[in-house]
Amino acid sequence: MTMGTYVQRTFQVRPEDLGRTWERKWYLIDAKGKTLGRLAAKIAKILQGKHKPIYTPHVGVGDYVVVINAAQIRVTGKKLEQKKYYRYSGYPGGINVRTLKELLEKDPERPLREAVRRMLPKNIQGRRMLRRLKIYPGPEHPHQAQKPVPLELE
């Protein structure tokens, strides 16, 4: 190296650094009238921790997300009738197909959970991130003790 050459070192957070200086935040998101895919993308970003300056891909630095009013989510176009969700039992003839409209009536949290799950990494880290997502069909949730910060998404 010559005199005056400066080497920039990239900061990477280590799991052992997190215990002392950092804690996870809780965010509250109202899904009423929000578009499914756009909302899922923003939730996935928060769960991964990409909104933080200490983001490191191999360390779980993401936060908790509580979503309320998931039953009142919106989709564009004809997706209510045309978008299909598949489930397979593993047995011959065991395929189960439901439209988005049927799924919202039967299990209103599942479409949002599936959309977010598919946007997260497909590994152990992604499964851990998904556990930090709490979805409720109505306006009530049992996480008042964590004091979730309301997050307004455009």
Predicted TM-score (pTM) of this structure: 0.88
DSSP state for residue 67 in the 8-state scheme: E
Residue 21: pLDDT band with limits 50, 70, 90 = low
Q: Domain 23-75+108-150, CATH 3.90.1180.10 — does that match?
A: yes
Q: What b-and-e string marks burial along 38-49, b requiring 16 or more CB atoms within 10 Å of the CB? A: ebbebbbebbbb
Give the residue-averaged pLDDT of 113-124: 97
Return all residues near 149 (Cβ < 8 A) that are at least 6 apart: 25, 26, 27, 28
DSSP state for residue 54 in the 8-state scheme: T
pLDDT for res 20 = 60
pLDDT for res 83 = 97
- pLDDT of 1 > 80? The answer is no
**CA 137, CA 142: separation in Å to the nearest integer?**
13
- pLDDT of 98 > 80? The answer is yes
Give the residue-averaged pLDDT of 36-45: 97
